[in-house]
Amino acid sequence: MKKVIEVKNLTKEYKKLKAVDDLSFDVYKGEILGLLGPNGSGKSTTINCLLSLLNFSNGSIKIFDCDMKPDAYDLKRKIGVVFQDVSVFNELNVIDNIDYFCGLYIKDKITRKKYVDEAIELVGLTDFKKFYPKQLSGGLLRRLNIACGIAHKPEIIFLDEPTVAVDPQSRNNILDGIKKLRDNGATILYTTHYMEEVEILCDRVIILDKGKILASGTTDELKKMASTSEKVSVEVNDLDNKKIDKIKTLKNVDEVTYKDGILLINYKKGKNNLVDIIEFLKQENINYNKIYSERPTLNDVFLELTGKELRD
């Protein structure tokens, strides 16, 4: 696949703090790359460096095989950016907002009208063309923000948490729109804290923390990195400590917790863990309501790599 973004040894320092520490990665044409990390991990700094909104201390950034610089306007015309904070004009209605931002790149009026109409259709704002931002719900406002960033049909799109604080319907609409952008040939760099979105959308994922890459690969490849291979949950009442201690001695069991009538067992390996615990419950005459098994999620891997402590 063709590289459209090439980052080598990128470093950004603030006095004694390294916000980005010797970062190297590539982004390929037509893929959605998820850039994940806890607060303060270096995601925003990395994106701002890629967009030449920040000077960096060391390294190189190439987009379409050309050095990315503040005055690289030919490159910037090929890029669309949708930041987390909504940036539209309150004095303009939906269609005029999109037309304004599209007009920064597309001067031909006929072409621009076509692009604006297509952007409105893509994000599902056809019935709201004449509405002003203050008349829109949070989800509609997010969709307008996206339309303003992608109306000029950029080849690379940066999407920074585009579904924050929206209702499920708007969220589904936004995710469908992002898939359409990818299917139409756009390359997308996507940041979010919603792991299920990453699993739905992203072809590859990079997990950052403290300015370094902790892991990268497909979601399936990342899940294989989890120390836990299976989690079994059992709804069971009145489980005493002796029974819990016995469960801890069963084959492949790594960790056992019991709280509010839920028995949770983490297994390190093995293929018949669910059968084994059911057999144990029968032998011990322990009645249970529900039991189910699940493999590690991307969220499990993320927390293992970055830690469970709260971040500011």
Number of H helices, E strands in the chain: 11, 14
What is the structure's pLDDT at 229?
87
For residues 93-100, average pLDDT: 98
* DSSP code at position 141: H
How far is residue 61 from each of residues 24, 50, 53, 179, 208, measured CA to CA in Å? 9, 7, 13, 26, 18
Cα–Cα distance for residue pair 5/157, rounded to 1 Å? 12
Q: What is the spatial order of strands in the sheet that 156-160 belongs to?
A: 79-82, 156-160, 187-191, 32-36, 204-209, 212-217
| Helices 109-123, 94-103: crossing angle, 10 deg rounding | 130
- Identify whether residues 148 and 101 lie together within a single domain: yes
Reported as a single tens digit per residue, the pLDDT across 153-196 is 999 999 999 998 888 998 999 999 999 999 999 999 999 999 99
CATH of residue 55: 3.40.50.300
Residue closest to 137 by CA, chosen among 158, 172, 167, 117: 167
- Tell whether 201 is covered by a domain: yes
Kindly state the average pLDDT of the residues 51-57.
Answer: 94
200 and 93 fall within a common domain: yes
**Element of type H or E holding 123:** helix 109-123
**312 is a domain residue:** no
Residue 183 lies in a domain: yes
The residue among 169, 190, 223 that closes a domain is 223
Instruction: State yes or no: pLDDT of 283 exceeds 90.
Output: yes
The phi and psi torsions of 188 (rounded to 5 degrees) equal: -125, 130
Indicate whether 265 and 218 sit together in one domain. Answer: no
Distance CA 69, CA 81 (A): 16
**Judgement on whether residues 65 and 179 belong to the same structural domain of the protein:** yes
Q: pLDDT > 90: what percent of the chain?
A: 89
306 domain residue, yes or no: no
Q: Are residues 18 and 58 in the same domain?
A: yes
Q: Do 184 and 258 belong to one domain?
A: no
Domain span including residue 171: 3-223
Q: How far is CA 107 from the centre of its chain?
A: 33
| Same structural domain, 89 and 197 | yes
Q: Examine the fold and report which residue of 173, 207, 223 is the final residue of a domain before the chain moves on.
A: 223
Rounded to the nearest 10°, the torsion over CA 163, 167, 169, 170 is -40
Q: Are residues 215 and 245 in the same domain?
A: no
Inform me whether the pLDDT recorded for 301 exceeds 90. Answer: yes
Based on the fold, state whether residues 197 and 236 are members of the same structural domain. Answer: no
Residue 135 DSSP code = G
Phi then psi for residue 213, to 5 deg, are -80, 120
Both 14 and 90 in one domain: the answer is yes
Q: State pLDDT tens for residues 146-157.
A: 999 999 999 999
Q: Cα–Cα distance between 144 and 63 in angstroms, integer?
A: 27
User: How many structural domains are present in the chain?
Assistant: 2
Three-state SS at 267: strand
One domain, residues 187 and 248: no
Mean pLDDT of the chain, nearest integer: 94
Same domain? 155 vs 84: yes
Neighbours of 14 (CB within 10 A): 9
Taken in order 220, 225, 226, 232, the sign of the CA dihedral is positive
Total-model pTM: 0.89
Separation CA 30–CA 32 (nearest Å): 7
Three-state DSSP class for residue 18: strand
Q: Provide the pLDDT confidence category of residue 272 given band limits of 50, 70 and 90.
A: confident
CATH number at residue 239: 3.30.70.100
Q: Which two tokens mark 184?
A: 């139409």
How far apart, in whole angstroms, are the C-alpha atoms of residue 140 and residue 161?
15
Over range 281-298, report the average pLDDT. 93
Is 16 inside any structural domain?
yes
According to the model, what pLDDT value does residue 136 have? 96
Question: So what's the pLDDT on residue 97?
Answer: 98
**Cα torsion 240, 242, 248, 249: sign:** negative
Residue-wise pLDDT tens digits, 227-262: 888 999 999 988 999 999 999 999 999 999 999 999
Say if 279 falls within a structural domain.
yes
Place of tokens 């917790």: 257
Give the Cα separation of 6 and 163 in Å (integer): 27
Residue 41 lies inside a defined structural domain of this protein: yes
**Within a domain: 270:** yes
